[in-house]
Amino acid sequence: MVKKHIGGRFVRSRANLKSEAKHQVWVDLKRIASLSVSWNNFGKKTRSSRQRTLLLKKSESLSRGKKCPSKKDWAGAIEELRQAGHALKYMLKRIGMAPSVFYYHRERLNQTDGYDSVRQRISSIYNESKGRYGYRRICSALRSEGIEINHKTALKLMHQLGISATRKKRHYRSYKGEVGRIAPNVIARDFKASAPNQKWATDVTQVCIQGVKTYLSPIMDMFNGEIIAYSISRSPNLQMAIDMLRVAFRNSQKLMG
C-alpha cells in the first residue's frame, strides 16, 4: 500500500482508494453471484490473474445442469450491483461479458418461460413417488394428465428444481435356499486322517488370469495335504467335478471303501 506523509500523518493516495473500491466491487460481485458450489474455488488464493480468468471461463463453460452460474445469472448479479452505484463498465470487463449480452439478458430477467405450473406438478409427482420417478416416468405421468411435454424439457426442469431419481441399492445374494439333495455330514468336522486316502476334501476357487475368469477345483488328501487331482475350467459346472474325480480314481487305483 502506497501512503503519503502529509502534515505529520500518512494518507492513502487516490490511486489506492480507487483500487480498494474496485476490489470491494469484485468482493460484492462474488458474494451476490455465488450460485453454485464451484464458487468455493474463488475463495482460495490464485497465483495470477490469468488463473482467476481461466477459472471464470471454466465456471461459465459448464452446463446449467451442474448448477453453475449462467449468463442470465451473471446479468442479474451485475444489475443488482449497478443499482447499488457500482460502475457497469468495470464489472463487465471483470466478468468478460459484452455490453450487448448484458442488456439482452437484463431485459429478460423478469420474463418467465411458461413452465411454472409444470414445475409445480413435477415436484408433486416426484414427492408422491417418494423420489423414485425419473424424468421418463414423470414425463409419462404428465402426458397422461394431458400436459404435452418433451422428455428433454422434463429433464431440464428437473435439473432446475434440483431433483433426480434415487435408486435403492441392491446387494447381490447368491444364496437361493436349499436346492437339491443335501449330502450327509460324514466328516463331522474331523479333518484329521490316520492313513492316506481315508478322507479327501475339495473346493472350487475362482482365479482371474489376464481378465478371464478361470475356476480351479482340486482334491486334497487330509492325511498329508497332498493334491491327488485337479481340474481347470472356464465354468464351475458338473463336468469339471466329473473330470477331477476320474483323474483322482485313475491316480489312486488301490482305494478302500
Nearest to 132 by CA among 164, 85, 175: 164
Q: Is the pTM of this model over 0.75?
A: no
- Tell me, what's the pLDDT at 21? 55
- Tell me, what's the pLDDT at 215? 93
- Tell me, what's the pLDDT at 170? 76
- Tell me, what's the pLDDT at 36? 36
The CA angle 240-246-248, to the nearest 5 degrees, is 105
Beta bridge partners of 207: 214
Q: How far apart are CA 34 and CA 31, in angstroms?
A: 5
- Tell me, what's the pLDDT at 86? 80
Q: How far apart are CA 82 and CA 25, in angstroms?
A: 10
Residues with pLDDT less than 50, the chain = 1-11, 35-48, 51, 54-55, 58-66
- Tell me, what's the pLDDT at 113? 79
